[in-house]
Structure 1
């Protein structure tokens, strides 16, 4: 009964009651906005990491198109060898560690983010006992991708392998 009386009252709310309710509402909204801000930054970072993984996959596929024996032997003979992938004249180009990178070449760029790709032999896989049995048609590689956002360097790693032309 009292509740009906309050609703039908013509007195209204005092200024303090309105300010207090706005303050409480503001605190609740600020907390929920923080949640959305964190969710956005997390989603944005995951989007860039997904792009980096796709760049690494494309780089491994590009390497797989080259002569398998040359790639395998180069990595086996020089265990610290690295292969970098850049975009030169709108197509992928590979550069070994000692090669000079042409000034017209740029890192792979997606959504205005530059991804630097480096491929190395997977030494752990090479040390495995059965590697000698499969070395004629399978070679394990690891792609390392780095990118910088707001001065912070991020990276991801993708383990993969290239297969010989004989079994493709």
Structure 2
């Protein structure tokens, strides 16, 4: 049924317009992909940070269940600054005396979580405990309470050699005496 009309108007997109639209769409898609990859890395870092904080709290809870006077003697009388155990050689004898089960404590300080090995160090915060300047400005009741609390800092690090803020964390806490537990 061709009546002799010649079609002069073309409809649709030209090849150049289609290619230009595809290029623009690809650029937008790649930038969004980079955003989602960075978001996944950030979420994984937060997950590792949460794991490390929970490991530090676990170590504090375990240490709090041990004899307070032994821990106090270890830090104050013996003059030690930290508690740590090596995964292969275990806990040193002076650390083994502090806890009821040295092999369990070694696993607490060197845990394996999600196929990642962590290393925990428990540090005595000497500057917060029994500081003359701190204790001179507080009441006698608060000084007595300070004798029943032992400030520590638990440092958690990844053993796989990765560095950065998301691969190390610190949790401050107190080991309390049996008299106030």
Q: 1:166: Cα distance to partner?
A: 1.4
Q: Distance in 2 between matches of 1:59 and 1:47?
A: 19
Q: 1:135: Cα distance to partner?
A: 4.2
Which string of whole-angstrom CA distances, capped at 9 and with x for unpartnered residues, describes residues 95-120 of structure 1?
35866998xx6520111111101101
| Greater C-alpha radius of gyration | 2
| Alignment check: 8 A CA contact 2:157 2:168 kept | yes
In the superposition, the TM-score normalised over structure 1's length comes to 0.77
| Alignment check: 8 A CA contact 1:145 1:156 kept | yes
Q: 1:61: Cα distance to partner?
A: 0.5
Q: 1:134: Cα distance to partner?
A: 2.6
Tell me, yes or no, if structure 1 residue 122 matches structure 2 residue 125.
yes
Structure having the higher strand fraction is 1
Q: Distance in 2 between matches of 1:80 and 1:132?
A: 23
- Show structure 2 runs of 5+ residues with no match: 1-8, 97-101
| Alignment correspondent of 2:162 | 152
Higher relative contact order (CA 8 A, sep 6+): 2
Counterparts in 2 of 1:1-168, with a 5 A limit? 11-84=11-84, 95-96=91-92, 107-126=110-129, 127=131, 128-129=134-135, 132-148=143-159, 151-153=161-163, 154-168=167-181
In the superposition, the TM-score normalised over structure 2's length comes to 0.72
Tell me how many residue pairs correspond in the alignment.
Answer: 152
Which string of whole-angstrom CA distances, capped at 9 and with x for unpartnered residues, describes residues 87-146 of structure 1?
89xxxxx835866998xx652011111110110111221223258533442111111110
| Alignment check: 8 A CA contact 2:85 2:92 kept | no
| Alignment correspondent of 2:4 | none
Name whichever of 139-148 and 121-130 sits farther off.
Answer: 121-130
SS of 2:13's partner is: coil
Q: Distance in 1 between matches of 2:59 and 2:169?
A: 14
Q: Distance in 2 between matches of 1:86 and 1:65?
A: 21
Name whichever of 18-27 and 107-116 sits farther off.
Answer: 107-116
